[in-house]
Each structure stands twice: as structure tokens, then as C-alpha cells.
Amino acid sequence: MKTLKISLILLAFFSLLNNSVFSQQLTGLKIIENVYNRAVGDDMTADLTMTLTNSSNENRVREIKQFSKDFGDLEKKIMFFVSPADVKNTSFMSWSYDEAGKDDDQWIYLPALKKTKRISSDSKSDYFMGSDFTYDDLGDRQPDQDVHKLLREEKLNGEDCYVVESIPKDKDYMYSKTITWIIKDKWIGLKKEFYDEDEELLKILKVNKYEDINGFWIITNTEMKNEQKDHKTIMILKNVKINTGINDDKFTERIMTRGI
């Protein structure tokens, strides 16, 4: 159960790395804002598989079924853990607010204890389910939390990219800086480097696959590798469905406890 102190905004993560915008003289801030503000569907359903691989090449697999819906100034998400066996039927729900400074509301349902517990969303530097993604890596880190600088433009994997350096305004933040390669015409973050507090390279995020689903660019295969620990996590998104009209009642304690 220790893996389940969650502040996950997975779907927003994919939107963070996807965007389209029409602009000419782009600053680093503008590029990141465009990525952040890119519209995605009103709701989304998907199956997520995370494969964690350690330095001995041993794999651990976590499977999740997730739903999200935009309610205007509020986004609600609910996730059901399918595997491993000891967390099966555990569910997690978060309500994220557009209002600046307003923390997410988050709950976790623990089936063995038959309890829905409210949890704090403050620990955004915690790692999600033992993976190499922190909650902040997966979530909506707002552009104004960092100072952005367009370093250069270059090709990566055959794609024309902007390369943007982002330095957090909070000097105590877990990363001293990040560098992101963003595809120009699709506004997808293709690669991202994370540097630790000593400005040493800590992690590298790579997008292995992205797809056009219902007119939205969706990243469906991502790899995060911790270079210092030689540990990596591959996230694969399957059965992605957008704008299916998920019922508002999906995001309630009733459904958390009942299951998928």
C-alpha cells in the first residue's frame, strides 16, 4: 500500500507534452505555456501499464484503468489498480482545480481496510507507485513555477524541435533544472532531461510513440530512466478513448468502492 500515496495527473501529463499553437516569435515561456494550455478532449478513458526495470534487469508491472473528465475549472480523475495482486481493487480519485494555489483533493480507497482515506496532495516530489516518475513529472506543473529559456532549435529523431531550459523559482525544488525538446509542429515534448540539486543529470524522459486519436496527439509510450540509479520505467497507454461522455457520477466514492 505504500505505493499508493498518489498525486497523479497522468492524462494531464500527456497533454503537457502535447500541444499546438500558432505563433512566430516564441519565448521559452510561451512555448511551455502553449504546451500546458493545449486543449484535449472533455473526457478520456485508458489502460495504463507501467513496467519498472531495475539495474539487474528485473521487471515489475503495474496495471491501471483510468478515467478523467474536464468540468470546466475542475478536472476529476479516477484510477483503478488492476495489478499487482496485492493492490488490486485499490482506487484513487483526484480533483484538480484551475484556481491558482488551490491544492488538489485526493482520496484513496483501500479494499483490504474497506476505507476511503483523504490524502494530502502536497508531496509532489514523491515517486508514483515506486516508478521513476514523480507526481510532479506526471502532473500539471504550471509554467509560472519555472523560468524558461529557449536555448536553441535542433532536430531530434528526425523532428524539428525547440529546446527549452526551465529553472524552478523555488530553489528547494527537487530538480535544479530541466531541458525539454518540443516538436515544433505538434508541440509534443519528445525528450526531457532532469538535473538534480547538484546540477548532475538525474533522469531522462523519452517519448517512444505518439498517436493521433480523435484529432488529439496522444503520447502512448514513454520511458523515464534514472541515470544515477540505473532504474527505468516504461509507461504504455492502451485502449485510449476520448469524448465518450463519461457520466459525472463516475467520480464519486460510490464508484471508488464498487470498482470499474
Partner 1 sequence: MKNKIIAILLCLTQITFAQNVDFTGYVRNYSGMLAGNGSNDFVILQNTFNLNIEKNMSGSSFKVNPIIYHNDSDSISFNLREAYLDLYFDSFDIRVGKQQIVWGKADGVFITDILSPKDLYEFLLPEFDEIRIGVTGAKLNYYMGGNTLELVWLPVFTPTNLPNSTSIWSPSMSFAMTPTFDYSKQDVKPSLENSELFLKYSALTEAIDFEIMGGYMWDDDPTVFSSIVTNSSGRNLFITPEHKRISLIGGSFSTTLGPFVFRGEGAYYFGKYFNTSDLTVNNGTVEKDYIHYMLGTDFNLLDINFSLQFIQKAVMDYEETIQSNVMFKDQYNNMMTFLARYSILNETLEFELFSYYDFEYDDALIRPRVLYDYSDTINLQIGANIFTGTEGQFGQYNNNDMLYGKIKYSF
Among 21, 29, 119, 147, binds partner 1 (CB under 8 A): 119
CA distance 180 to 193: 6
DSSP bridge partners of 62: 50
Contacts (CB under 8 A) with partner 1, residues 36-55: 52, 54
Q: What is the CA radius of gyration of the chain?
A: 18
Among 65, 149, 186, 231, binds partner 1 (CB under 8 A): 231
Q: Are strands 91-97 and 74-83 parallel, antiparallel or unpaired?
A: antiparallel
Single-letter code of the amino acid located at 103: D
- Of 207, 235, 225, nearest to 55 by C-alpha is 225
Applying CB under 8 A, does 254 fall inside the site for partner 1? yes
Specify the residue for cell string 532532469: 194
Applying CB under 8 A, does 173 fall inside the site for partner 1? no
Applying CB under 8 A, does 209 fall inside the site for partner 1? no
Compute the least distance from the CB of residue 207 to partner 1, in Å: 22
Among 116, 176, 208, 221, binds partner 1 (CB under 8 A): 116
Q: Closer to partner 1 at the Cβ: 238 or 258?
A: 258
Q: Closer to partner 1 at the Cβ: 86 or 160?
A: 86
CA distance 14 to 127: 17
**Helix residue ranges per DSSP H, the chain:** 10-16, 28-37, 135-138, 253-258
Q: Closer to partner 1 at the Cβ: 201 or 260?
A: 260
Instruction: Give the count of alpha carbons within 13 A of 53, CB side only.
Output: 12
Applying CB under 8 A, does 108 fall inside the site for partner 1? no
Applying CB under 8 A, does 204 fall inside the site for partner 1? no
Single-letter code of the amino acid located at 177: K
Contacts (CB under 8 A) with partner 1, residues 137-156: none
Positions in the binding site for partner 1 (CB under 8 A)? 2-3, 5, 52, 54, 60-61, 83-86, 88-89, 95, 103, 105, 107, 112-123, 126-127, 129-132, 231, 249, 252-254, 258-260
